[in-house]
Amino acid sequence: MFVYLLRQILYSLSILWGIATLVFFLFNLLPADPTRLMLGQRSDISTADNIRHELGLDLPAWQQYTLYLNDLSPVAVLDFDNPDSHLFADSSKYGHPTQLISLGKRTLCLKAPFLRRSYQSKKNVSEILREAFPGTAVLAVTAILIAIFIGIILGIICALNQNTTLDRTLLLLSVSGMSLPSFVAALLILWLFAFLLGDYTGLPISGSLYEIDEFKGEHIVWKNLILPAITLGIRPLSLVVQLTRNSVLDVLGLDYVRTAKAKGLSPIVVLFKHVLTNSLNPVITAISGWLASLMAGAVFVEMVFGWKGIGFMMLGALNNYDLPVVTGAVLLISVIFVVINILTDLTYAILDPRIRIK
């Protein structure tokens, strides 16, 4: 298991390197000039050149790429004697790196990955992501929990009532939920529950996880989470219903289930101990993929409900051509995808003894 886990980690690191490279060259091929957007209409050539030099945008592409990887890597070559070196990263922006090996005038150091600074606010991108991440994480986890619990229950009900009116009705609703785009569902749910029925539900049209009150200060408002989480959870809920139904029906026809019934075990024990635990693998696969997708795909839901998370922040950064913020958000989402995939493989081994033996 250790060798397998190590191989997966190395494979995941190669994927992250590929994503980082793709994002870097994709944004460097764009025709827009960040310095012009930073300075506005009254910028002069000398000021623009100074800012371009400060950001390293006047360097050849290969040098920018080297600095970019040096910033992202936890192990980097630093030049303490020449902090303005173009080829090797400036040590001052890394805080207090741990020196490992001396390489002449340069030093191999251990440091935290540096996602650079925002063009607009001048804040570290890691700090911006740290502020936006909790909102998106809470929204995505709540949405996926709604999909898991309600979807598995409805899927079991469909399987136990196969080809009945109840089964067909639930399947029709799940197909409708899968075909409904998130931004359309967000507008419909907001219009119905916050605008038309707002006096009865007490749910706001817009709001975020944290709000600032003149008496309470910054505090969490949980009711703002209800409508965005339901909206974001509709599509994974529909998928979980269908996957659970089909998987449970497949397992119900296997020999060991018939043997368990022949032993006189109660239907509840057969269902939860023998059927459900061995039929959750496709559901876990879907949930793991959807959890990471919800982190990235919450942009429209966050915009409609005014929920301040990574999607809301990322769209604003795209409008302002704030490339460090956009690339930092993409890399963060990529890391989440990779980590969730590794955890999914380990969960397979825990739930299914056949995979653990392999």
Pick from 150, 119, 133: nearest CA to 56: 119
Q: Is the pLDDT of residue 308 over 60?
A: yes
Q: Residue 36: its pLDDT value, please?
A: 65
User: Would the pTM of this model clear 0.85, i.e. be above it?
Assistant: no
- 88: pLDDT confidence band, cut at 50, 70 and 90? very low
Span 165-181, pLDDT tens digits: 888 888 888 888 888 88
Environment class of 235 (CB within 10 Å of its CB; exposed 0-12, middle 13-18, buried 19+): buried
Domains of the chain: 32-110 (no CATH), 125-357 (1.10.3720.10)
Mean residue pLDDT of the chain comes to: 78
Q: Residue 354: its pLDDT value, please?
A: 58
Q: Is the pLDDT of residue 33 over 70?
A: no
- 79: pLDDT confidence band, cut at 50, 70 and 90? low
Q: Is the pLDDT of residue 40 over 70?
A: no
- Note whether 73 and 67 are within 8 A (CB): no
C-alpha distances in Å from residue 295, one per residue of 59, 87, 184, 291, 333: 34, 35, 18, 7, 7
* Tokens 């925002």 -> residue: 118
Pick from 308, 311, 312: nearest CA to 224: 308
Q: Residue 274: its pLDDT value, please?
A: 67
HSE of 332 in the Cβ direction (CA atoms, 13 Å)? 25
Cβ contacts of 150 within 8 Å, gap of 6 or more? 237
Q: Is the pLDDT of residue 86 over 80?
A: no
Q: Is the pLDDT of residue 104 over 80?
A: no
Cross-sheet strand order for the sheet of 106-110 = 75-78, 106-110, 98-103
